[in-house]
Amino acid sequence: MKVLSKHVQLLAFACNFIALYLPDLSLMFPLPMKMFKYLSYILFAFGCVGRGFSSKKFGYAIAALAFSAGTAVFTRDIYYSSLVLIAFSMSDIDYHEVFKLSFYLLSGLMITTLLLAFAGILPMVVTSNNIISGRMGMGYYHSNVLPLVIFYLLVFRIFWKDGELKRIEMIMWSCIAGAVYVACRSRNGFLLTLMLTSAFFVKTFPKAEEKIEKVFNFKICRLFMDNSILLLSAFSLTMSLIAGKGLRWVYLVNRFFTGRFALAYLKMQIIGLHFINLMGNEEFNIGYTLDNGYIYTILRFGILFILIYIVIQRRIVKKCEYNVFCIFAFAVVSLSNFIDNDLLSYGFLPLIVMAASDHWQFSFREISKKYFEGVKV
């Protein structure tokens, strides 16, 4: 029964993952998206039947579900209600299996998308900005999606293997990211991938590992890596609040980030700033589009909901306490959401499951062997 429940949960996760992936394509598939989404909810609920959850965990889940469902009545957005269901039902599954499944699933979806685009079934969208024109979407609705898909594939590999990858593989990821950049001309995903591969090469350089560990554990660096979501959220909100003050340095920072804070300021003038926002989707979507994931979450759902992601980061940092490279990888993911809005996407979903999982990266016995007996895990 337990094995069956595990497979049901993984199948439900796959369905939810696909439902979140489909909106990124250059054609809309509303019916399949809804089918995968609601099928995943049914499977998640079915997988919870007959499992022995502790009364404490069950109480937390009911309280969180009641709160999220209560806000969903007004917002007509059930994402966080589904998130509670996913986190609760998958809490006893080893998150390494989730990252493994996510890696193969996203790889298959990406290859299928590229094949459909080259076959002419999915439109080859071409976008441009103030700097670069002729940026290819490669079957996605925007040219920045495929580079981010490559970035998240690498993130999934890092957490699946606890950061223990080979140099030749990291060279391969750098080459793939470079090739995708040539086609898509989108810098965000390309630079984020290079940040991860460069940090890995520096970390594994002969006789440099101890020095790099000291740099990563330096108070300022570690403060950012451990609290990047809190710091980036606070910075994003502050910049958005003062974007209309006419300060030159604010103008320069906003221009560097292609007007993201100015758009957030204008959006805030329309809908306001709320601790909990009970506004419906139709009312919120009027006006400006927000790319910054933290500003979007704060304005769409309210300041309270950014605390969910702060808790997620704290959980992941605790799980990866003895693996600084994985903590760095999550900090890079949080940095990506400063530029793009992926907090509600398939790229962030496995990290949410990891935070909710009861499994830890190393057992006490493994930590003892690694740090007290000199045996590498």
Alpha helices in 119-218 (DSSP H): 145-160, 167-184, 187-203, 209-216
Tens digit of each residue's pLDDT (9 = 90 or more) over 346-357: 999 999 999 988
Question: What is the pLDDT of the chain when averaged over all its residues?
Answer: 85
pTM higher than 0.85: yes
For the cut 50, the answer to whether the pLDDT of residue 61 exceeds it is yes
Q: What are phi and psi of 127, to 5 degrees?
A: -120, 170
Q: What is the share, in percent, of the chain residues with pLDDT greater than 90? A: 47
256: exposed, middle or buried (C-beta count within 10 Å: 0-12, 13-18, 19+)? Answer: exposed
355 vs 91, higher pLDDT: 355
Rounded Cα distance, 109 and 334, in Å: 24
**Section 348-376 average pLDDT:** 64
User: What's the CA angle centered on 95, arms 92 and 97, to 5 degrees?
Assistant: 105
365: exposed, middle or buried (C-beta count within 10 Å: 0-12, 13-18, 19+)? Answer: exposed
Tally of CB atoms within 10 A around 376: 6
Model confidence band, residue 370 (pLDDT cutoffs 50, 70, 90) = very low
For the cut 50, the answer to whether the pLDDT of residue 367 exceeds it is no
For the cut 70, the answer to whether the pLDDT of residue 159 exceeds it is yes
Structural contact between residues 323 and 341, judged by C-beta atoms closer than 8 angstroms: no
Structural contact between residues 150 and 189, judged by C-beta atoms closer than 8 angstroms: yes
Structural contact between residues 88 and 355, judged by C-beta atoms closer than 8 angstroms: no
Angle between helices 145-160 and 95-118 (to 10 degrees): 150
pLDDT for res 215: 62
pLDDT for res 130: 55
- The SS3 call for residue 136 is strand
**Section 161-171 average pLDDT:** 93
Rounded Cα distance, 361 and 355, in Å: 11
- Spatial CB neighbours of 190, under 8 Å, sequence gap ≥ 6: 147, 177, 178, 180, 181
Rounded Cα distance, 336 and 192, in Å: 7
Lookup: tokens for 159: 């957490």
Rounded Cα distance, 280 and 282, in Å: 6
For the cut 50, the answer to whether the pLDDT of residue 49 exceeds it is yes
For the cut 60, the answer to whether the pLDDT of residue 10 exceeds it is yes
- The DSSP call for residue 137 is -
- The DSSP call for residue 140 is B
Amino acid type, 146: L
Q: Residue for token digits 């040539």?
A: 182
- The SS3 call for residue 14 is helix
For the cut 90, the answer to whether the pLDDT of residue 377 exceeds it is no
**Section 215-225 average pLDDT:** 75
Lookup: tokens for 243: 């974007």
142: exposed, middle or buried (C-beta count within 10 Å: 0-12, 13-18, 19+)? Answer: middle
Name the pairing type of β-strands 135-136 and 126-127. antiparallel
Amino acid type, 159: F
